[in-house]
Structure 1
Amino acid sequence: MDRRHFLLQLSAALGTTCLPALAHAQASGTRLRVAGGWRMNERDYQIGALSVDWEQGQVKTEFAHTLPTLPHAIVPEEGGGFLAVATRPGTWIVRVDAQGKLVQRLTMAEEGDTRTLDGHVIASHDGRWLYTGETDRKTGAGWVSVRDAKDLRKVAEHRTHGIDPHQILVDAQGRLVVANGGIPRTPEGLKRNLELMDPKLVLLNPNNGEKLGEWSLRDKRLAPHHIAWNRPLADSPQLLGIGLQAEHDDPSKRRDAPLLAVWDGKELKIPTHMVADGYAGDVAAGPNGGFVLTAQFANRVVLWQPQEPAKLLTIGKVQNPCGLWPLDDAPGVTIGGGLGLARWHATEPGHMLRWPAGMAAGNHWAVLG
């Protein structure tokens, strides 16, 4: 493996505080079992699980299932299984158990084929319900479907009060936070009429769909897509990190656009205008109550911390970085790149491993229990 082409740099962030014991962090991150989606040999779209051993330098495929289109989000479930959702405009959602068996599959055609999935799913705190963001094929209106977690079937639906709802999270009170990307799209999912963009963050009551709040940025060409909760320090508020995707007509405006917005439950702000080519592939919790983001077009991984809100610290240079997942009990992340996995930790050397031969990795991955 040519290290220079895969991972140009991974560095430790300075000034981290409240770190767990290093020995525990190293032990917990030595081996991982991860689920994801990929294209195999330029032909087959697959989902499955990989076994990752950082010490031995090995990534092995445990199992794989072929599906008709590209997967997007991967959501782990209790017991070691996971859910996978098709990328926009999505037509399927599946469940795989801990042994690798595909145990449930739902197609949107079974529900009348008037909606497409927008790529993500999230469970309620009690695990009874699943929430999927969807788009009406004819009108473009955004919807969230409430689904029974046992069989994936829809039991209720609510408007998202926007369009292009990409990712949904559940807050501490069980309410839904919806990132309406606001991008008008064709039924095939292609962008159109960007001058009509209307991105917004919306807070919903999951029981009746009541809109509890709405927040927008001044620049309507900044689309919120991926969102993540931070790990707040003591006596600090819970923050939502919002990865922004710039959709300006002028390439220079896209390049110079901000990468991150932060919501504290009351205000939506852009804390830093440091340039990272205006496109966040993903966002995840980072050290010191901050966020790690993949600046995908800039081939960089960056760290934002609330103690220095005007700064974006480059912590890694990775070819085509996208999906992130935080390491358990440690201020670090694993990064899905174009050629393989990278691991960054605030107090440890960086690591990198190539994907198995023939695999072109999808956007998102998740650690399995």
Structure 2
Amino acid sequence: MASRRRFLAGLLATGLAPLPTWADAGDPSFLSAARTPGGDYVLVGLDDAGAERFRIPLPARGHAAAAHPTRPEAVAFARRPGTFAVVLDCRNGDVLAQLNCPQGRHFYGHGTFDGLGDLLFTTENDYRAGQGRIGIWDARRGYVRIGEIASHGVGPHDLRLMPDGTLVVANGGIDTHPASGREKLNIPTMRPNLTYLDIDGQVLDQLEPSHYHASIRHLSVRTDGLVGIAMQWQGEVAEAPALAATHLRGEDMRAMGDGSGLNGYVGSIAFSGEGSQLAITSPRAGVAQVFDITTGSVAQLVHEVDICGVAAWRSEMIFTSGQGAIFDLANSGPPNAMHDLTWDNHLVKIIPG
């Protein structure tokens, strides 16, 4: 056995051994954080049918994850205002690295790799300055932190990689501090924005929603660069405007639908697999709204208790709920799969490079 290990190590050193891929982790299609019936927290890999491929323990409640584009590695992020993120080998559950925010920072629960998987970008709060930051980590060297750039806003929650290799950031506009838990500290003066950045931190475009109480929180990006935007309303629920929009750089933000029936809260967003529809979910209202991109109108309503996770699936989209269900739009019968898990907010699609 020792001789075999030395032999394999020698092959890896010479670059002759095949590098591990997502197929070595069961070929999952999605990642989701979840809570077990016993109260433990896990990161789960799911295949295209919703079956479990792996289950890896997490140190605390997870929020979202970032999947490496080539290696079977996932970065699981703590729920805001968490200060940890763990890099997991999805073949065996080993912790490859733990990312710790610099002093005076916390994570916002999201991150994204660049197209090659060389760099990881994370949304962070410099709570002493009350400003957002994007942390930059080198995945080629054990996820060492190599720098940061300004998010050019307050409360950067989600960020996504654009087709041209730049970044788009959802600056929610809400200031928080770990000493105050999840309390929102600046609602009267909040100013959310959508910011496009190159990886050197230069602002390429920036715009604000029409209502300053519409906190931009989650994003989805279509292959042509159209950005789907999900917002959470910080004013009176009855006064909520549209909480979904789309945007192309250089153009105005295009609102979709209205905020009625969402209880002021949108938890996740995703384009359909073929890109003609956009879905937002509201676990508080138990509903998903599915929009036709061409007309901007609601094409379908999906009613499900505690619905939140959504991702592109085949030509359509697939959803998860806090009741353990996984289901798609076309299925009017039983769910595609049921699990003894409480799925957390996000269903992350793995897109191998």
Counterpart amino acid of 2:97? R
Alignment correspondent of 1:161: 152
What displacement does 1:33 show?
5.3
Are the structure 2 counterparts of residues 350 and 294 from structure 1 closer, same or farther at C-alpha, using a change threshold of 3 Å? farther
1:365 counterpart (332, 347, 350): 347
1:299 counterpart (258, 267, 286): 286
Aligned-residue identity in percent: 22
What displacement does 1:367 show?
4.5
What displacement does 1:307 show?
1.9
1:285 counterpart (271, 274, 282): 271
Q: Is the 8 A contact 1:223 1:246 kept in 2?
A: yes
Alignment correspondent of 1:270: 255
Q: Is the 8 A contact 2:49 2:336 kept in 1?
A: no
Alignment correspondent of 1:24: none
Correspondences of 1:165-244 after superposition (within 5 Å): 165-187=156-178, 188-207=181-200, 209-231=201-223, 238-244=225-231
Distance 1:130 1:85 in 2: 12
Counterpart amino acid of 1:362? D
Kindly tell me the number of residue pairs found equivalent between the two proteins. Answer: 318
| Paired residue secondary structure (1:101) | coil
Deviations, residues 297-341 of structure 1 (Å, cap 9, x unaligned) = 2211221122212x12334211111111111xx221121111123
* Runs (5+) with no aligned partner, structure 1: 1-30, 233-237
Distance 2:169 2:58 in 1: 30
Q: Is the 8 A contact 1:230 1:290 kept in 2?
A: no
Distance 2:280 2:323 in 1: 18
2:103 corresponds to 1:118 = no
Counterpart amino acid of 2:207? W
Distance 2:66 2:73 in 1: 9
Distance 1:61 1:288 in 2: 27
Alignment correspondent of 2:6: none
Are the structure 2 counterparts of residues 241 and 356 from structure 1 closer, same or farther at C-alpha, using a change threshold of 3 Å? same
TM-score when normalising by structure 1? 0.78
Alignment correspondent of 1:247: 234
Distance 1:160 1:88 in 2: 17
TM-score when normalising by structure 2? 0.82
Distance 1:49 1:94 in 2: 15
Q: Is the 8 A contact 1:258 1:276 kept in 2?
A: no
| Paired residue secondary structure (1:333) | strand
1:46 counterpart (42, 50, 54): 42
Distance 1:307 1:70 in 2: 38
1:106 counterpart (95, 98, 104): 98
2:236 corresponds to 1:258 = no
| Stretches of 4+ aligned residues off by more than 6 angstroms | none
Alignment correspondent of 2:122: 132
Are the structure 2 counterparts of residues 302 and 272 from structure 1 closer, same or farther at C-alpha, using a change threshold of 3 Å? closer
What displacement does 1:345 show?
4.2
| Paired residue secondary structure (2:112) | strand
| Paired residue secondary structure (2:132) | strand
Distance 2:199 2:145 in 1: 13
What displacement does 1:66 show?
3.6
| Paired residue secondary structure (1:195) | helix
| Paired residue secondary structure (1:363) | coil
Are the structure 2 counterparts of residues 350 and 96 from structure 1 closer, same or farther at C-alpha, using a change threshold of 3 Å? farther
Distance 2:166 2:72 in 1: 26
CA RMSD of aligned residues (A): 2.4
Q: Is the 8 A contact 1:51 1:62 kept in 2?
A: no
Which one has more relative contact order, counting CA pairs under 8 Å at least 6 apart?
1
Distance 1:288 1:127 in 2: 24
Distance 2:328 2:46 in 1: 19
What displacement does 1:90 show?
1.9
Are the structure 2 counterparts of residues 32 and 316 from structure 1 closer, same or farther at C-alpha, using a change threshold of 3 Å? farther
Distance 1:361 1:229 in 2: 23
User: Relative to structure 2, which stretch is displaced further, 35-44 or 190-199?
Assistant: 35-44
Deviations, residues 65-118 of structure 1 (Å, cap 9, x unaligned) = 141x2111122222443221111112111122231322323242xx54221111
